[in-house]
Amino acid sequence: MKQRPLRNEVPAQLTWNLDELFTSTEAWEAEIEALQADASLLDAYKGTLQTGASQLANCLEAQETLLARSALAATYARLRFSEDSSNPQNQANSARSGDFTSGIGASISFIRSEILALPEGTIEGYLKEESRLEPFRKGLVDLLETKQHQLSAETEAVLASLGEVLGAPYTIYQRSKLSDLSFESVQDADGVTHPVSFALFETDYEFTSNTSLRRASYNSFSKTLEQYQHTFAAVYATEVKRQIVTARLRGYDSATDMLLQPQKVTREMYNNILDVILTELGPHMRRLMQLKKKVLGLDQLLFCDLKAPFDPDFNPSVTTEEASQTILEALRIMGPEYAEIMEQALSERWIDYADNVGKSTGAFCASPYGAHSYILITWGGNMRSAFTLAHELGHAGHLMLAARNQRYTNFRPSLYFIEAPSTMNELLLAEHILKQSNEPRMKRWVILQMLNTYYHNYVTHLLEADMQRRVYAAAEQGEALTAKKLSSLKGDVLTEFWGDTVALDAGANLTWMRQPHYYMGLYPYTYAAGLTASTAVAQLIKAEGQPVVDRWLDVLKAGGTMDPLDLMKLAGVDMSDAKPIQSAVAYVGTLIDELERLF
């Protein structure tokens, strides 16, 4: 039986090179000490922000420099922990990173409090008087909008100093999931024994055509989750309680309103994404799964069969080199500057492909300001991995272009838009492959890859978002978020979406234990918002060509200088009503129509 390797047993070419962030742990530790010393220098600005625009500009510039450096240091600790959370040194450094981040947050919390305490109209006057404040205009205006929710300076400082403690639910969840959970090995129908882990199940076994392995690994996976459900429920309930209590303290109507506020997203925009897609996509997806059941010859379609391949005999293995070449060809339409970023990412060890003990599951892209992006993925050797890689490269291209064109203060856009550039890359990759062949089986295969993207964003993550909405509603009504309650809510979400098309078991109800997104605020629904925007823009590119691409690049370079609605309007999409969402869902329906014809 093949065992997962330890981190030090993984070939270097399959790992990222974090030496480009810090050459050693010692260099990282020296920077932390320097940051803590430099943070204390900002004390000189306490009680002085009312003295004039120049003083405020000096203070904001010093804060910006400090935060950019702090983000680099925190990213290094996070990436080391993500590559191997079982390493005691990485665990310790992760904890230390949380300490210093919280400390810096506490030391500069007075800036926000003093700005909000300035007399009405002061900031407007400062902006007219001091040109150095112009890059901070949007942040200052956004900050003033939160004035009614600000607590006393002393309270804000205390909350900031408790940052690591208040973030403990996510830390505990990740450490338990990656370091403590162990799964029984399983045998497939041929008697071959296979190890099971979070990463192996979610990147390999869940997608395998080997029905006996897929179902056996799912049972092993679910059995371990069930053993930890009460602990995980307590951790998640604590996270939800934290948000609800904070929202009440700050005078928001609900935790949802508090979490949407920094995204610059209205309740209507949020509910539109959820309600339209849940209502209109369900029938299409049920039709897709009925087709899968028929094609695979299954008597019953189980929850663990949802990601089984439609055409297992035409699911060629893909190496990282092959995927890289195809992705580069697909993204050349984005122009030379974007293409150069992609080439560097794929050739200069920005990406961690390995599977090893303690490595984080899923995939993500970290883009610290002042350095290049880093991508974590566990390579599955299939085209789904290639699409995931293209997705994460979309984040890298977006945030690196934004960082090149904006100050640290303005380079990150609203979460509402953050998934649009990444899903755009997936759509461009699909379109490129589709152009390479008119052979029906190849066309069918590409449509399946596109549907995987829509499934990931419009089903997996949107059902997470539906779950979140129900969880917050229940908690705000005083209901206890026990494991039984959470599983019941998840069961309702799945049943309402899939109906009787899918046989749902107790393990399916434990899906709430699998995703870290529940600890990231209202993040899951943004996958659907981003894919809706990228679907619309991808259609415009097909229709109008280069002018749309140029406009899209302008959007990427704009970073966080615009609110999400204006950013999407610049791209040519109006998300203020339901039409783009309905159009994107209808497009998914046409893909399923074509798939039915091809099968």
| Alpha carbon distance 524, 517 (integer Å) | 6
Percent of the chain scoring above 90 in pLDDT: 85
Mean pLDDT of the chain: 94
What are the angstrom distances between the C-alpha of 341 and each of 68, 234, 332, 333, 416?
21, 42, 11, 13, 24
Lowest mean pLDDT among 56-70, 163-177, 240-254, 550-564: 163-177
**Beta strand pairing status for 364-366 and 186-187?**
unpaired
pLDDT, one tens digit per residue, over 191-238 is: 999 999 888 898 889 999 999 999 999 999 999 999 999 999 999 999
pLDDT, one tens digit per residue, over 2-29 is: 678 999 999 999 999 999 999 999 999 9
Rounded mean pLDDT of 351-376? 95
pLDDT, one tens digit per residue, over 31-47 is: 999 999 999 999 999 99
Does 361 have pLDDT greater than 90? no
The length of the chain in residues reads 599
End-to-end CA distance of the chain: 37
Percent of the chain scoring above 70 in pLDDT: 100
Rounded mean pLDDT of 88-108? 92
Lowest mean pLDDT among 295-299, 381-385, 507-511: 381-385
pLDDT at 2: 64
- On the CB side of 528, CA atoms within 13 Å amount to 32
Rounded mean pLDDT of 183-196? 93
pLDDT at 437: 77
Residue type, 562: M
What the chain holds in terms of domains, given with CATH numbers, is 18-163 (1.20.140.70)
In 3D space, the residue among 317, 378, 389 whose CA is nearest the CA of residue 14 turns out to be: 378
Rounded mean pLDDT of 166-185? 90
Does 180 have pLDDT greater than 90? no
Q: Is 521 left (phi over 0), alpha (psi -120 to 50) or beta?
A: left
The answer to whether the CB of 118 falls within 8 A of the CB of 150 is no
Does 52 have pLDDT greater than 90? yes
Does 132 have pLDDT greater than 70? yes
Handedness of CA 135, 138, 143, 148 (dihedral sign): positive
pLDDT at 83: 97
Give strand pairing partners of 186: 194
pLDDT, one tens digit per residue, over 539-550 is: 999 899 999 999
- On the CB side of 135, CA atoms within 13 Å amount to 15
pTM: 0.85
pLDDT at 316: 75
The answer to whether the CB of 138 falls within 8 A of the CB of 560 is yes
3-state secondary structure of 576: coil
Does 1 have pLDDT greater than 60? no
pLDDT, one tens digit per residue, over 471-493 is: 999 999 999 999 999 999 999 99
Does 315 have pLDDT greater than 80? no
**Interhelix angle for 267-296 vs 579-598, to 10°?**
10
**Rg of the chain, C-alpha, whole Å:** 24
The answer to whether the CB of 400 falls within 8 A of the CB of 341 is yes
Residue type, 427: L
- List, as one string, the DSSP characters of 241-267: HHHHHHHHHHT-S-HHHHHHGGGT--H
